[in-house]
Amino acid sequence: MTRLLIIGPPGSGKGTQAVQIAKHFRIPTVSTGEIFRINVSHETPLGVEAAKYLDDGAFVPDHLTNALVKDRLLDADLQPGFLLDGYPRTAPQIMELDNILASQGHRLDAVVELRAPDSELEQRMLRRAKEQGRKDDTIDVFRHRLDLYHRETHEVVAVYAGRGILVSVDGSGDPSAITTRAIAAVEKFLATRVSP
């Protein structure tokens, strides 16, 4: 019964780490990007509305993102636990997540924050752009995304740190080493929170 959230800057390998951590704890990964894609491809009422924003390259508004995430979190396969990736990103979304979980008698157990120096993240992005031949992965675009991340998630990180459930993990170096560090840090943290 583990409910986790993972936060990390672009280039931190958050998606890869989310999958590995979730696999270790035997819980499903819940990615907001995946929720959007599934709802859009199945043309659900929420998906049709979200597509209007996604097609224009705009952010999906909080009220719609909240509704899509709530819909997914109520699914039976997530009752034993989950790892959330990409949500919440704002203070209002934190409140909504609290409400969704409280309505089920649950709460988040831990928030995993991947940290790495901006310079290392830039090098990873440049390597990925070269390997994948992506023209849109320029330094300027990446730095803009990184700046948005720092501004957007600062508040989220601060809230969870204030609640005492933030587990910061060194996201530098080899991906398998990061996975090992992250799992060890989460297990150690969860062990301290077990009720007597």
Is 171 one of the annotated binding-site residues? no
CA distance 42 to 9: 30
Is 164 one of the annotated binding-site residues? no
Instruction: Report the candidate in 96, 86, 90, 106 with the shortest Cα–Cα distance to residue 8.
Output: 86
Q: Which tokens hold the place of 192?
A: 């301290």
CA distance 165 to 180: 19
Is 145 one of the annotated binding-site residues? yes
Is 103 one of the annotated binding-site residues? no
Is 173 one of the annotated binding-site residues? yes
CA distance 86 to 15: 9
- Edge-to-edge strand order for the sheet containing 29-31? 29-31, 81-85, 2-7, 110-115, 166-170
SS3 content of the chain, % helix, strand, coil (to 5): 60, 15, 25
Is 47 one of the annotated binding-site residues? no
Is 29 one of the annotated binding-site residues? no
Q: Which residues pair with 106 in a beta bridge?
A: none
Is 12 one of the annotated binding-site residues? yes
Is 127 one of the annotated binding-site residues? no
Is 20 one of the annotated binding-site residues? no
Is 88 one of the annotated binding-site residues? yes
Is 17 one of the annotated binding-site residues? no
CA distance 120 to 170: 12
Is 44 one of the annotated binding-site residues? no
Is 37 one of the annotated binding-site residues? yes
Is 15 one of the annotated binding-site residues? yes
Is 72 one of the annotated binding-site residues? no
Is 65 one of the annotated binding-site residues? no
Is 13 one of the annotated binding-site residues? yes
Binding-site positions for AMP read: 32, 37, 58-60, 86-89, 93, 134, 145
Q: Which residues are annotated as a binding site for ATP?
A: 11-16, 128, 173
Which residues fall in the annotated binding site?
Answer: 11-16, 32, 37, 58-60, 86-89, 93, 128, 134, 145, 173
